[in-house]
Amino acid sequence: MADLVYPPVIAAARTMFRVLDNRIRIDGAEHIPRQGGAVIACNHVSYLDFIFCGLGARPAKRLTRFMAKKEIFDNRIAGPLMRGMHHISVDRSAGLASYREALGKLQAGEVVGVFPEATISRSFTVKEIKSGAVRMAAAANVPVVPMALWGTQRLWTKGRPKDLTRRHVPVSILVGEPMHPAKGDDWDIVTKELRTRMSALLDRAQAEYPDRPASDEDRWWLPAHLGGTAPTPAEAAELDRR
C-alpha cells in the first residue's frame, strides 16, 4: 500500500507546530511495536487528537490508520486526505464493515488508532470507553497500547473557538505499556483495565504539564478536579445528552 499522502501531511503538521513553537513531548514511544499490528487506544480532548496521536507513533517509524466518523470522509477537503492516508471510515449505523476493514489492517501488520470514548470529553477526564479496541486487538492477536494526550484541547475542542495559530502551547503525548487481550477474556474487565491505564497516563500528563492557566478566564482548559472550570464528568454527560 503506497503512502504518497501521509508523509507530506506529517511534514506539514510538524512544520506548523515548529513555527508556532508548540512544544511536543513524547514519552513512552518505545511501547509501540516497531513491526506487526497494534491498536492504539487514545483519550479524546480535541478535534486535532488524531494528528498528535499519530505523531506519538512516529518515533517507532509507524503510520497510524485511524478509525474516524464517515462525515469527515464526506468533507470535500478532509475526505481526499483521509482516504489518501488510508484511514478507516466509520458509519455508525453500519459499523461491521469498518470493523472488518480495521481487522484486516491489523492482520496485515498495520497500526490502527481508535478513540474508545467515541466523542470528545468535555470534562477533560477519560469517559467510559467502549470495548471495541480490546475486542479488535484480541481478534487480530495484537497488543493494544494505551495513550494519553494533554494540551491539544487548548487549540480546538468542543464548545470552544478554535485557535490553530496559538503559539507556545505545550502538548504532551504519553504512551503506556501494551496490553495483550485474548479471545475468551471478560471484555468488561479488560476494558475497565484499559480505561484505568489511560486515566493514569492522563493524570500524569496533567500533573507534569509545564503550563498553568494565566488567569481565571483561562482555567477553562483544566478539569474541575484540578481547579479548572471545565464541566464535571456528570455535567459533561448531561451536555452530551442534550
- Kindly report the backbone phi and psi dihedral angles of residue 235, in degrees, each rounded to the nearest multiple of 5, phi listed first: -65, -40
What 3-state DSSP class applies to 68?
strand
* pTM above threshold 0.95: yes
Q: Is residue 80 part of a domain?
A: yes
**Overall number of domains in the chain:** 1
Q: Is residue 89 part of a domain?
A: yes
Task: List pLDDT tens digits, range 83-100.
Answer: 999 999 998 777 889 999
Q: Is residue 1 part of a domain?
A: no
Residues spanned by the domain of 126: 6-241
Say what the pLDDT of residue 1 is. Answer: 66
- SS3 of 128-143: the string is CCCCHHHHHHHHHCCC
Q: Give the highest mean pLDDT range of 91-95, 163-167, 206-210.
A: 206-210
Mean pLDDT over each residue of the chain, to the nearest integer: 96
Q: Is residue 107 part of a domain?
A: yes
We report the CATH number of the domain holding residue 216 as 3.40.1130
Task: List pLDDT tens digits, range 2-30.
Answer: 899 999 999 999 999 999 999 999 999 99
Q: Letter for the amino acid at 12?
A: A
